[in-house]
Amino acid sequence: MNNSGIYVGLDIGTTSIKAIVCENVKGQLNVVGVGSEQSAGLNRGIIVDIDKTAVAIKKAVDQAQEKSNVTIDEVVVGIPANFLKIEKSRGMITIANQSQAREINDQDVIDVAKETVMQSLPPEREIIDLKADEFIVDGFNDIKDPRGMVGVRLELHATLYTGPKTVVHNTKKALEKAGIKVKDLVVSPLAIGDTILNDGEKDFGTVVIDIGGGQSTTSVIHDHQLKYSFIDPEGGQYITKDISVVLNTSLASAERIKRDYGYANSDTVSEVNTFTVDVVGQSKPVEFTEQYLAEIIQARVEQIFERINQKLQSIKALDLPGGIVITGGVAALPGITDLAEQYFGIHVRAYVPDQMGIRHPSFTQGFSLTKFEANLNEVDLLVKRALRDNEAIQSHDDESHSGSFRDSIKSSRIDTQKRRAHQNAPEQQRAQSKPKDKKEKTDRLTGVKNFFNDFFN
């Protein structure tokens, strides 16, 4: 980490909008304030009513501002992985002719990055991000930073992330209406993978599942890159709805009992523990067992897992050595890692941010955005500048675009925020914890190899 200052991550989720204010002090990212407000105008991760979402964004940012005592004028915002495309892209520029070879500078990096994105995109798609994989100077490859080197020809091999124009536009527009500038747009699972996995997991390959309120996002990270991401259109809201329908209670009370008494794995829940709930048409609260509640929850979680499992199997991603890391609000359900291990038959762990004030997996996304941005190096920033310059050329009449990418970050007085952490209930010990179908080592290696062939080249 080398970019000191204040970073604000904005996670526009289906159920809540989270604004996380972090201060980067000598590489240490400290949370100094959090705003979390109920969402509005979203359906399954996508903004469908810009005005309503803008109001909710403003509330979340105002709250974060108040808690942190930091003036927030720009945020790093996550773009969901719906219809995300990840492509390889190449660009090349001539630095000088043979007799005048000169040192490569910042502007050359920007220029070659611009060349890299100079490809015709379908009209309904928009570039979200571009990440340099390697630079090549006069045929010498695998260069991470070409500046200061002497050469006549500079090439860039990069990864290009594109999304539906509507999704990107609606996000920018909602922020514009909320009066907040976009410091950077980041593909959500790119930031999450970068933040919650350790070096080995990123390198050898790991699956990340973010189970939110409106949808579940599964991503495959390997070789330190996001290789693949897909969406399942169900999340915690469906669990709440099931509880409400089965127990004949309001959505609000279903949500409450899910959080207070919910378990994802009914095998591990005692039959004797009970709770009461207001039931429609009954004058007195009705008693149910926690085991019954767990059965309702488990049925929906298994349905989500089943669809994810089919997709992961089809790309052989379950053979990746890193296993699965689950996060997102639903990961707060006790017993979910055990259930996932039974289901997918591989090692599963849950990720919960461990910073004070954000100890809940709902905050993973917002925090990841700040960490991702704070970790960008100078070359990353130049490459991103090329993207924003291009954007400004394409829509020079829209000031919010050209003026949005700023190098400097204003910071002001900071009070340590004292928001109480929401701790995860301890995970239940699972009775039968053995993965269902453990594979032979050789099978696993073959599978990993096939996966590499299919997706990594």
Ligand X SMILES: Nc1ncnc2c1ncn2[C@@H]1O[C@H](COP(=O)(O)OP(=O)(O)OP(=O)(O)O)[C@@H](O)[C@H]1O
Q: How far is the CB of 180 from ligand X (least distance, A)?
A: 18
Is residue 256 within 8 Å of 243, Cβ to Cβ?
A: no
Alpha-carbon gap, residue 382 to 127, rounded angstroms: 16
Instruction: Name beta bridge partners: 125.
Output: 164
The CA dihedral of 88, 94, 95, 97, to the nearest 10 degrees, is 150
Based on the shown chain and the rule CB under 6 A, indicate whether residue 16 belongs to the binding site for ligand X: yes
In whole angstroms, the minimum distance from the beta carbon of 177 to ligand X comes to 19
> To the nearest whole angstrom, how small is the minimum distance from the Cβ of residue 369 to ligand X?
12
Interface with ligand X, residue 353, by CB under 6 A:
no
Q: What does the block give as tokens for 321? A: 């050595």
Alpha carbons 284 and 292: distance in angstroms, whole number: 19
| Binders in 190-209 for Mg ion, by CB under 5 A | none
String marking each residue 242-261 x if it binds ligand X according to CB under 6 A: -------------x--xx--
What's at 191, amino acid-wise? A
Indicate which of ligand X, Mg ion, none lies near residue 54 (CB less than 5 to 8 Å, by partner kind).
Answer: none
Using CB under 5 A, which residues numbered 1 to 20 contact Mg ion? 13
Interface with ligand X, residue 13, by CB under 6 A: yes
Rounded to a whole number of angstroms, the minimum distance from the CB of residue 17 to Mg ion is 10
Binds ligand X (CB under 6 A): choice among 33, 35, 78, 328 = 328
The CA-based dihedral angle spanning residues 143, 147, 153, 156, taken in that order and rounded to the nearest 10 degrees = 50
Shortest separation between residue 15's beta carbon and Mg ion, angstroms: 8
> What is the H or E stretch that residue 88 is in?
strand 85-94
With binding defined as CB under 6 A, does residue 189 bind ligand X?
Answer: no
Query: What, of Mg ion, ligand X, none, does residue 15 touch, CB below 5 to 8 Å by kind?
Result: ligand X
Q: Which stretch binds ligand X (CB under 6 A): 142-150, 208-216, 300-308, 380-388?
A: 208-216
Alpha helices in 45-105 (DSSP H): 50-68
324-327 β-sheet, strand order: 225-232, 216-222, 206-211, 324-327, 348-350
Instruction: For residue 101, give every residue at least 6 positions away whose Cβ sits within 8 Å of its Cβ, in sequence order, or none.
Output: 95, 150, 151, 152
**CB of 227 vs ligand X, minimal distance in Å:** 21
Residue 374's binding partner among Mg ion, ligand X, none (Cβ under 5 to 8 angstroms by kind) is none
When asked if residue 205 is in the footprint of ligand X (CB under 6 A), the reply is: no
Instruction: Using the minimum distance from each CB to ligand X, give the nearer residue, 240 or 266.
Output: 240
d(CA 13, CA 41): 10
Task: Give the residue with the Cβ less far from Mg ion, 215 or 266.
Answer: 215
CB of residue 365 to Mg ion, shortest distance in Å: 5
Q: Which of residues 88-107 bind Mg ion (CB under 5 A)?
A: none
Taking CB under 5 A as the criterion, the residue among 212, 235, 236, 262 binding Mg ion is 212
Stretch that binds ligand X, among 47-55, 110-118, 236-244, 381-389 (CB under 6 A): 236-244
What residues are paired with 153 via a beta bridge? 94
Which option in Mg ion, ligand X, none does residue 244 bind, with CB closer than 5 to 8 A by kind?
none
The Cα–Cα gap between 257 and 232 comes to 24
d(CA 457, CA 449): 12
- Paired strand residues for 185: 77
Using CA atoms of 191, 193, 197, 200 in order, give the dihedral in degrees to the nearest 10: -120
CB of 363 to ligand X, least distance (A): 8
- The site map against ligand X for 355-374 (x = CB under 6 A) is -------x------------
Which of the ranges 26-34, 59-67, 209-217, 286-294 carries the binding residues for ligand X, by CB under 6 A?
209-217
> Can you spell out the DSSP letters for 35-55?
EEEE--SEETTEES-HHHHHH
Residue 100 amino acid letter: Q
**189 contributes a contact to Mg ion by CB under 5 A:** no
Toward ligand X, which CB reaches closer, 24 or 364?
364
Helix residue ranges per DSSP H, 345-440: 364-374, 378-394, 399-402
DSSP state of 347: -
Please give the residue ranges that form the binding site for Mg ion (CB under 5 A). 13, 212, 365
Please give the residue ranges that form the binding site for ligand X (CB under 6 A). 11, 13-16, 45, 212-215, 235-237, 240, 255, 258-259, 262, 328-330, 332-333, 362
